[in-house]
Amino acid sequence: MNQLFFEFIQIALDQSEKLAHDLSDQDWLELYNWSNKQAIAGITFAALDKLDKQGQKPPVQLIYEWFGSTQIIRARNAQLDDYCKNLIAIIEQKNVRCSILKGQGLARYYDENIRQLRQAGDIDVYVDCGLKEAISLAHALGQTSVEWDYQHLHLNLWPDVEIEIHYRAEILFNLSKNKKLQKWFRDNQESLFTKEGELMY
């Protein structure tokens, strides 16, 4: 099944056109379940249209279920994209620079079709300030109680999405490597908040 799964991903990403052999209904079901488990059911769905042209397709009922899951993923991505734009505007109104990290922030580098099919999670936003200022920002946005740790704090702005405000973009537990990473962030601080910056949404 591992080999089949990787073949399937290659087809979804236009690296291959056809599975090495035809699948049974049970194989298709396992492939779908595995895609869900790995949170890439939307991305693997992109392979179905290509395989249909090759005469390789899952049972009709499974196609409907897969399509339904994909529509939910698309809607969630669109919603989170809107949240990200609103979040940036809200934070910048408080005179704090910010950029979206990780999933939603990097999704713009994906092919447009794949971008809308990736499984969205929470929103991670990097702010140009320290812990105290980040806590003050959360208070200014109406949050009375703030949970925080060594890297980020939780912002309860909308009920259906988790938001993490990173006052440190990332931390490594290896002290030597972390020192180098933090130096890189300091040296490249300006690029993190420009349109050319890798982390800018």
pLDDT, tens digit, for every residue of 19-77? 888 888 998 999 999 999 988 899 889 888 888 888 888 999 999 999 999 999 999 98
Give the model's pLDDT for residue 54. 80
Q: How far apart are CA 73 and CA 75, in angstroms?
A: 5
pLDDT value of position 196: 43
Which residue intervals of the chain are DSSP H helices? Answer: 2-12, 25-37, 41-53, 60-93, 102-106, 112-115, 131-140, 175-187
Q: In this predicted structure, what is the pLDDT of residue 116?
A: 83
Q: How many CA atoms lie within 13 A of 186 on its CB side?
A: 7
pLDDT at 146 (0 to 100): 86
Question: How many other C-beta atoms are found inside a 10 Å radius of the C-beta of residue 120?
Answer: 22
Q: Give the pLDDT score at 1.
A: 67
pTM assigned to the model? 0.79
Q: How far apart (Å, rounded) are the C-alpha atoms in residues 152 and 167?
A: 6
Q: What is the pLDDT of residues 85-97, one digit of tens each?
A: 999 999 999 999 9
- CA trace torsion 88, 79, 103, 46 (10° rounding): -150
Top-ranked range on mean pLDDT: pick from 1-10, 102-111, 174-183: 174-183
Max intra-chain CA distance, the chain? 60
Contact between 155 and 165 (Cβ < 8 Å): yes
Residue 122 has pLDDT above 60, yes or no: yes
**Partner residues linked to 71 by β-bridges:** none
> pLDDT (tens digit, 9 = 90+) per residue, 156-201?
899 999 999 999 888 899 999 999 999 998 898 888 776 543 444 4
* Mean pLDDT in residue range 88-109: 84
The pLDDT value recorded for residue 63 is 93
> What is the band of 121 on the pLDDT scale with cuts at 50, 70, 90?
confident
Check residue 193 and give its pLDDT: 78
Per-residue confidence (pLDDT) for residue 195, from 0 to 100: 58
Instruction: Compute the residue count for the chain.
Output: 201
CA-wise closest residue to 45 among 169, 192, 57: 57
